[in-house]
Amino acid sequence: MPQKEGVRLTKTAIITGASSGIGFETTQELIKEGWRVFGVDINTGKFENSKLFKQSSLFTPITCDLTDAYAITLTMALIQKEVSSVDALIACAGVLRLGALANMSVEDFDLVFNVNVRGLWLSVSRSMPMLKSAAKLSGSARVILLSSVSALRPKIDSGAYSASKAAVSQLTRVLAVECAKDNILVNALAPGTVDTPMVRDQSSPGKQGNWRPSGPSPLGRIAVPSDIVKVIRFLLDENSSYVTGATIPVDGGTQAAFIPTS
């Protein structure tokens, strides 16, 4: 059936950090639901082992270093040549570097903020024309940013990461109000400990220092990526059409109240 002029039969999303963890799970889920997905990541080679991405015409991988402002601008321009409208930007890319703030290297501190805050902001900024176009056609568009429970309850040895995620939550609030006139809803998720390669890598012996993962939540387990994707799907759905400017904890109650260990 041919597509009618002005009517898009396939929704489109840009997902940063699409090759791993929450971004990878979100990418798979949306493709299964019939979305066209542009998967942006510094390491798109990870997609090669996925049959879904090999077989699907709905997926386009794009290699991009989110510490490079020009690369982000070029990436969004390339996407805009393919599609004039994007229904959702889902910013999952992030890095974690641990260490006491007094001893952390400038390189590690800058990397955390360049990816988690600057790269995220540039991704939103450079995709805004496509989001505005989608909102005019469909009534609304969505921006979903990955904050962290660390923004609400920081830990020692993760000061830079926690501060970067607190910045994400504040950007979410201001962006939501600035974008409201264009019917673009902006929200953030604040996951607790999630079983992802990034967390597993930093939890290995010799890398923790004084930092520890939060461990099982009050619900008795840590999260898996699909727990976070379920809330992302809610924020993409019409049932969330009056939700904007929020940072939603998805942590099994981890930050709700302190539980003594003994």
Q: Is the pTM of this model over 0.85?
A: yes
Q: Which long-range contacts (CB under 8 A, 24 or more apart) does 67-71 make?
A: 67/111, 67/114, 67/115, 67/118, 67/119, 69/118, 69/122
Predicted confidence at residue 8, as pLDDT, reads 53
- Both structure tokens of 168: 């994400």
Predicted confidence at residue 144, as pLDDT, reads 98
Predicted confidence at residue 259, as pLDDT, reads 76
What distances in angstroms separate CA 88 from CA 124, 177, 219, one per listed residue? Answer: 10, 17, 31
Predicted confidence at residue 83, as pLDDT, reads 97
Do residues 60 and 84 make contact, with C-beta atoms less than 8 angstroms apart? no
Token pair 């929020």 is found at 246
Check 40, 159, 161, 254 and give the catalytic one: 161
pLDDT tens per residue across span 116-137: 999 999 999 999 999 999 999 9
Q: What's the CA gap between 70 and 59, in Å, rounded?
A: 23
Would you call 70 a catalytic residue per the annotation?
A: no
Which positions ≥6 away from 57 have C-beta within 8 Å?
none
Predicted confidence at residue 47, as pLDDT, reads 83
Helix, strand or coil for residue 153? coil
Q: What's the CA gap between 143 and 187, in Å, rounded?
A: 6
Closest to 135 measured CA to CA, from 1, 244, 231: 244
Which parts of the chain sit beneath pLDDT 50? 1-7
